[in-house]
Structure 1
Amino acid sequence: MKIRTLLLALFGLSGLFNAGQSLAAVDAKALYKTHCAECHGPGRLGIIGPALLPQNLKRLRKKSAFQMIESSRPAVQMPPFKEKLNKAEIESLVELIYTPLKVMPKWGMDEIKGSQLVYHKPGKLPDSPKFEADIDNLFMVVELGDHHATLLNGDTFEPIHRLPTRFALHGGPKWAEGGRYIYFASQDGWISKFDVFNLTYAAEVRVGINTRNLAVSHDGRYVIAANYLPHSLVVLDARDLSPLKVIDVVDGSGSSSRVSAVYTADPRESFIAALKDIPEVWEIGYMDEPPAGFSGWVHDYREESGDAHKEERFPVRRIQVEGYLDDFFLTQEYDRVIGTSRGLDKGLEGSAGQVVDLDLKRAVAQVTLPGMPHLSSAITWQYQGRNVLATPNIKKPEVTIVDTETWEVIKRIPTQGPGFFMRSHEKSPYAWVDVFFGPNRDLMHVIDKQTLEIVKTLKPVPGKTSAHVEFTKDGRYALVSIWDLDGALVIYDAKTLEEVKRLPMKKPSGKYNVHNKLTRSRGTSH
């Protein structure tokens, strides 16, 4: 039987090859056709296995990819190829998959419709869960190590169900309809709808070739996906993931952009998109009845389309900004975003944060945030009668505390290394932040939200990365991921900071609590 997936777990490639055979003498295209095309497609766009394009392999070094093809790795479906291919042949395959395509592949409405898979038609499955648990306190834990996810009871910390996922989930799954459904996005463009009550997938569709994340409307009717490749936003009917609209992300001059991420702005009945390559923020409306000021949306949309009679569903408001906001945080009121800025002009030099008012459609403040603040992981809380924002920093060993009224930096809290994820809960006095990068990646800092001091530093598993805290719905327990193939979920008492339980898992990443996510808790990302 031919291989199920060349690089199904894509974690490897070493640049060594057979000294007796030159790379030029190897027909990489023929090798790919024989060993790879069945699962990854003749054009490397992916089928069962992921797309094998440079845009999809940014997290995978060539050295690691070579090792993956040669020896595979535990807990993946791909067999080792060291008995079938010599080192020169493996190296040639690596060079091929890291070579850009000469023609940008098309993935539009026809391709999306053709990929749709409906396993259970809407309304055909029972409306009551097959298990006993508090739905509001369920967690979905993504396990990247073997491409699975675990549905976890947040009261007993016992697994309810373990399900396979598409390759390389990205951007975090999103709950909807009170926890009845959860939606996953894979890096290879697959959007999957999982019926939690019935423990089965309901539908899937492929919206792109390289997808960043998805968002679900507050009423559970629409799903929108943000793509790197092609440069588009795709709106889906949440019932069966039928595509409703493909929005090409292009500015007024014809320049296109990758979409870094898309978010839901509940009270605005809209989605907010961060763009990577053009200096704009986009707001996409999904309301049924036009709100006050809707005429501005229609005008903007018709100007872009050049067609006054074109359907006005999901209109776009384009907001001009300074530089590029490819990572940002929405305020709790959803009226402003603070984004990480790149390419600012000299007038804003030294500022890495820009505040954009969505109603005024312009930047209203700048924040000095050197390094690379991870604003999509930022959280807020009340401090001395004012609302503050706290963000980890990917390049600097610090947590920055910002007053969201004045946008002044209140404090920079030194950490033992750059961090990636930060979490808290309204009922907890503490904020937790990891030390994801550097030699101290096994540490987890706990910060007192009123003194703004680190009160304890935990080391759940020496030598293994600690990451991504999430709280139970009542804030009583904090769950920490040990980011390793031989990893674990470690549960702490959020008040005493003592460990109470740990569950073995395969490189657990994010943990997503129904209540915290659907109520848009201040302590978690939205």
Structure 2
Amino acid sequence: MTTRHRARHASLTFFLAGLLLSAGSGMAKELTPAERTQAETLFNGNCASCHGQDLGGYLAPALNKTRLAGRSPTTLRSMIMTGVFDTLMPPFYGKLSDDQIKLLVNYISTTPKLDPKWTLDDMKRSLKVHVQDESTLPEKPGYAIENMDDLLGVAARGRYGRGAGSKAVFINSANNTKVGEVPTATAAHIIEFNPVNPRWAYVKTDAAELYKVDLYSMKIVREIKTGLNGPALGISRDGRYLMAGSFVPHVAVILDANTLEPLKLFALEGVDPDGKFVTSDSGMITGTPYADVFAIALENAGQVWVIDLKSPDFPVTAIKDVGRHLHDAFLSHGGRKLMVASYDDSIVAAIDLEERKLIKKLPAGCVPHVGGGSVVKVNGKTLGFGTNFGDCDHEVVSVWDLDAMEVVKQVPVSGGTESPAAHPNAPYVAVDIISKDRRARTIQLIDKNTLEVAKTLDVGGHAYFPEYNARGNLLFVSAGYSGDEVVAFDSQTLNRVASFEMESPAGIFSRARAKFMTRGLAPGDL
């Protein structure tokens, strides 16, 4: 797999395997300039949020002349018409005309990978202010809620990755009621909460649209487009700054969290562990309660940059040779230690954010993916849990002693996994199974004390992105594809207690993350 085809939060499950393997006779015709303009508009409006506006792949595979060389136009047309079962690829028959589908096939079959730009000036021009005077907003939530930490935000993708089903949905997990939603132009991907002001949330889409949301009124206050594709988003510990990263183009930007004004653009590039100078997708971005810094992973360059927010020019310290194909990460030890997954090396790299250096590279199973990570305190030890996509002979969840920086165990599970969830009040670390069969309906529960799989829970639809609520009494799971709902389970008995219908729910984000730092750690824990 190429870098773009590795997983981005669940992308291994989105692979259109038939599309990449199909071959046949026939050639696509070259398009006229007018047809090419029409086709580009169709692609950007229907395909780019998953396949990349550069045609280079994103959540789903690349669709360009090189990648599709030798593929049958008839097969490609059929794939677009019918969709792909058990993936997020819906049928476009009825949404697009046959002539439009044929035009798309010709476009992707005759167009090389592109290199579109999105500059600081483009960002500034895209900024929209929906509420000019924020003092007119309500002083308290317009719905009953005891504690704002009880809020859960769900990134609902929508059937086509855009349209009416694309939104951020908010749930009061104390009484299992939906309290609001905000529409997003394209599929919502990540939700960050302001750590010092409970009224603000920030929603980022797969098309790099960024929304500032007032949680009291459930209104979008401001929005800006920070790139063309890319989900990465972080917020500083004081709530003053946001940082957003892109896959297309290879940039990241620091913004004022209040106004969404872009302050500084970073070109993501550097020398990779093999000595090659490359431009890079943006991997994880995280703020930390430990210091006024952002950390960003340069996926292709194998570097982690630590950006100092105390200085107005936001200087960068580059930590090099972290690993090959970095992606996601989690924090521990008060936010001082950063654990970064490196897909191609099968390691998780530990970084000291104070000393700004690599501590150690830990074995992490096959194609490690830590999601938002989970850290628990057990018998005086700080244990970190990381999932593994698999593609190897055995499937495991990796467990590390983060005090001693050593592997404790690799727990056998029933398939590839993506996102671990834990809570100090819940007995289990939950992991989602992403295998391409009935196992994908399940969540496996690892006992925190025995480090063994204690139970397997059938969610009903394709189960992914488990998240405990702030109190730890409920476990929420997205049941996508055939399910189209978010399901809540009692964290002790695992009985199903509630469900919420929505189109293709994906990531679930507890507002308590701003307080807990990493899922599984109580406030005040290391």
Take 1:119 and 1:411, find their aligned partners in 2: how far apart are those partners? 50
In 1, are the aligned partners of 2:167 and 2:181 still within 8 Å (CA)? yes
In the alignment, which residue of structure 1 is the partner of 2:215?
196
In the alignment, which residue of structure 2 is the partner of 1:413?
411
Take 1:14 and 1:251, find their aligned partners in 2: how far apart are those partners? 33
In the alignment, which residue of structure 1 is the partner of 2:187?
168
Between 1 and 2, higher relative CO (CA 8 Å, sep ≥ 6) is seen in 2
Q: Describe the shift of the 1:141–1:441 C-alpha distance in structure 2 as closer, same or farther (beyond 3 A).
A: same
Per the alignment, in what secondary structure is the counterpart of residue 371 of structure 2? helix
What amino acid is the match of 1:155?
A: A
Per the alignment, in what secondary structure is the counterpart of residue 236 of structure 1? strand
Q: Describe the shift of the 1:445–1:482 C-alpha distance in structure 2 as closer, same or farther (beyond 3 A).
A: same
In 2, are the aligned partners of 1:280 and 1:320 still within 8 Å (CA)? yes
Deviations 1:309-333 (A, max 9, x none): xxx4222112233433433332232
In 2, are the aligned partners of 1:377 and 1:420 still within 8 Å (CA)? no
In 2, are the aligned partners of 1:69 and 1:80 still within 8 Å (CA)? no
Take 1:39 and 1:341, find their aligned partners in 2: how far apart are those partners? 31
Structure 1 residues 99-248: aligned runs within 5 Å: 99-101=112-114, 104-121=115-132, 123-126=134-137, 127-134=139-146, 135-145=148-158, 146-170=165-189, 172-176=190-194, 177-248=196-267
Aligned residues: 476
Structure 1 residues 308-319: aligned runs within 5 Å: 312-319=312-319
In the alignment, which residue of structure 2 is the partner of 1:285?
308
In 2, are the aligned partners of 1:56 and 1:188 still within 8 Å (CA)? no
Take 2:104 and 2:89, find their aligned partners in 1: how far apart are those partners? 19
Deviations 1:277-319 (A, max 9, x none): 224211112236xxxxxxxxxxxxxxxxxxxxxxx42221122
What amino acid is the match of 1:231?
A: H
In 1, are the aligned partners of 2:462 and 2:483 still within 8 Å (CA)? no
Per the alignment, in what secondary structure is the counterpart of residue 117 of structure 2? coil
Deviations 1:351-408 (A, max 9, x none): 6233222333332223222301212332111122111111121115211211112222
What amino acid is the match of 1:507?
A: S
Per the alignment, in what secondary structure is the counterpart of residue 54 of structure 1? coil
Q: Describe the shift of the 1:459–1:287 C-alpha distance in structure 2 as closer, same or farther (beyond 3 A).
A: same
In the alignment, which residue of structure 1 is the partner of 2:457?
458
In the alignment, which residue of structure 1 is the partner of 2:380?
385
In 2, are the aligned partners of 1:45 and 1:53 still within 8 Å (CA)? no
What amino acid is the match of 2:244?
A: A
In 2, are the aligned partners of 1:14 and 1:66 still within 8 Å (CA)? no
What amino acid is the match of 1:120?
A: V
In 1, are the aligned partners of 2:371 and 2:418 still within 8 Å (CA)? no
In 1, are the aligned partners of 2:50 and 2:60 still within 8 Å (CA)? no
Structure 1 residues 468-487: aligned runs within 5 Å: 468-484=465-481, 486-487=483-484
What amino acid is the match of 2:105?
A: E
Q: Describe the shift of the 1:83–1:208 C-alpha distance in structure 2 as closer, same or farther (beyond 3 A).
A: closer
Take 1:27 and 1:228, find their aligned partners in 2: how far apart are those partners? 27
1:81 matches 2:96? yes
1:274 matches 2:301? no
TM-score scaled by length of structure 1: 0.80
Take 1:182 and 1:247, find their aligned partners in 2: how far apart are those partners? 24
In 2, are the aligned partners of 1:262 and 1:274 still within 8 Å (CA)? yes
Q: Which moved more, 1:268-277 or 1:325-334?
A: 325-334
1:320 matches 2:335? no
Per the alignment, in what secondary structure is the counterpart of residue 427 of structure 1? coil
Take 2:135 and 2:338, find their aligned partners in 1: how far apart are those partners? 40
Per the alignment, in what secondary structure is the counterpart of residue 232 of structure 2? strand
What amino acid is the match of 1:447?
A: I
Q: Describe the shift of the 1:122–1:452 C-alpha distance in structure 2 as closer, same or farther (beyond 3 A).
A: farther
Per the alignment, in what secondary structure is the counterpart of residue 392 of structure 1? strand
In 1, are the aligned partners of 2:55 and 2:62 still within 8 Å (CA)? no
In the alignment, which residue of structure 1 is the partner of 2:434?
436
In 2, are the aligned partners of 1:423 and 1:524 still within 8 Å (CA)? no
**TM-aligned CA deviation for residue 107 of structure 1:** 1.7
Take 2:34 and 2:245, find their aligned partners in 1: how far apart are those partners? 34
Per the alignment, in what secondary structure is the counterpart of residue 412 of structure 1? strand
The RMSD of aligned alpha carbons is 3.5
Q: Describe the shift of the 1:216–1:161 C-alpha distance in structure 2 as closer, same or farther (beyond 3 A).
A: same
Q: Describe the shift of the 1:18–1:83 C-alpha distance in structure 2 as closer, same or farther (beyond 3 A).
A: farther
Take 2:36 and 2:42, find their aligned partners in 1: how far apart are those partners? 9
TM-score scaled by length of structure 2: 0.80
**TM-aligned CA deviation for residue 125 of structure 1:** 3.0
What amino acid is the match of 1:265?
A: T
**TM-aligned CA deviation for residue 31 of structure 1:** 2.4
Structure 1 residues 394-409: aligned runs within 5 Å: 394-395=389-390, 396-409=394-407
**TM-aligned CA deviation for residue 59 of structure 1:** 0.8
Q: Which moved more, 1:51-60 or 1:187-196?
A: 51-60
Per the alignment, in what secondary structure is the counterpart of residue 470 of structure 1? strand
Q: Describe the shift of the 1:525–1:33 C-alpha distance in structure 2 as closer, same or farther (beyond 3 A).
A: farther
**TM-aligned CA deviation for residue 514 of structure 1:** 1.3
The runs of 5 or more residues in structure 2 that have no matched partner are 1-13, 64-72, 159-164
What amino acid is the match of 2:329?
A: F
What amino acid is the match of 1:284?
A: I
Take 1:389 and 1:85, find their aligned partners in 2: how far apart are those partners? 49
Take 1:255 and 1:125, find their aligned partners in 2: how far apart are those partners? 47
Structure 1 residues 8-27: aligned runs within 5 Å: 23-27=27-31
